[in-house]
Amino acid sequence: MRALWAILTVCGVGALGAQADTNAVRDTTRQQLEALLSTYAPAREMRFQRSAKQPYDIVGSFDKPMLYASRLEIIASVTSQRTIGFRVYPRWRGTHINLDRVRRRSLFMEKLLRDADQSFFHWALDQNLDLFAGFTFTLESSFPEDAIKVVIRSIPLLDRPVGELVPLIE
């Protein structure tokens, strides 16, 4: 019995240890990401800050004048699955683009899926059917600083595909 207890205790400690390791890795990744977002000039223009609700989300926005989108809202998430996900929500006429408010719904969705074939970002719909552009990094090959810079520089370029969606929304 004592042996069984010892085994269970060791297993429990092992599991807690693994969880602690995961959290430590996640914390380190968040620190690296925050350091990059606060020092890289194009990211500084987006004024990133840690989310009050989700401690592993860093939120920012790009609201310099654009042709179509009134603002691009950005969420960079460090996940427990060792990924960093960027989500960019375009705001059009002051609100997110929601599938339920799109007039030509079928063409709209097909265009999103065709764009995902050819673009750097892919399009997706969240649980509220709000549209966002996404890009996901896996972290098995270390922290991808230069690649993240490319994603940040590419965010303002999303205004153009948003413009192509406008005729399908109205």
Which token pair is 91? Answer: 């705001």
Residue with smaller CB distance to another protein, 39 or 142: 142
The reply to whether 100 sits near another protein by the rule CB under 8 A is: no
Which token pair is 156? Answer: 């303002």
Biggest CA–CA distance in the chain, Å, is 72
Nearest distance, CB of residue 67 and another protein, angstroms: 24
How many residues are there in the chain? 170
For the residues of 110-142, what is the DSSP string, one character each? HHHHHHHHHSSSEEEE-TT-BEEEEEEEE-TT-
The reply to whether 103 sits near another protein by the rule CB under 8 A is: no
Q: Which of 99, 104, 163, 168 touches another protein by CB under 8 A?
A: 99
Please identify, among the stretches 4-12, 61-69, 128-136, 157-165, the one whose residues bind another protein according to the rule CB under 8 A. 128-136
Which token pair is 86? Answer: 């960027």
Q: Which of 18, 19, 23, 126 touches another protein by CB under 8 A?
A: 126
The reply to whether 39 sits near another protein by the rule CB under 8 A is: no
Count residues near another protein (CB under 8 A): 38
The reply to whether 109 sits near another protein by the rule CB under 8 A is: yes
The reply to whether 125 sits near another protein by the rule CB under 8 A is: yes
d(CA 116, CA 134): 10
d(CA 132, CA 128): 11
Residue with smaller CB distance to another protein, 16 or 107: 107
CB 71 within 8 A of CB 63: yes
By CB under 8 A, name the binding residues for another protein.
81, 83, 99, 105-106, 109-110, 112-114, 116-117, 120, 122-127, 129, 132, 134-136, 138-151
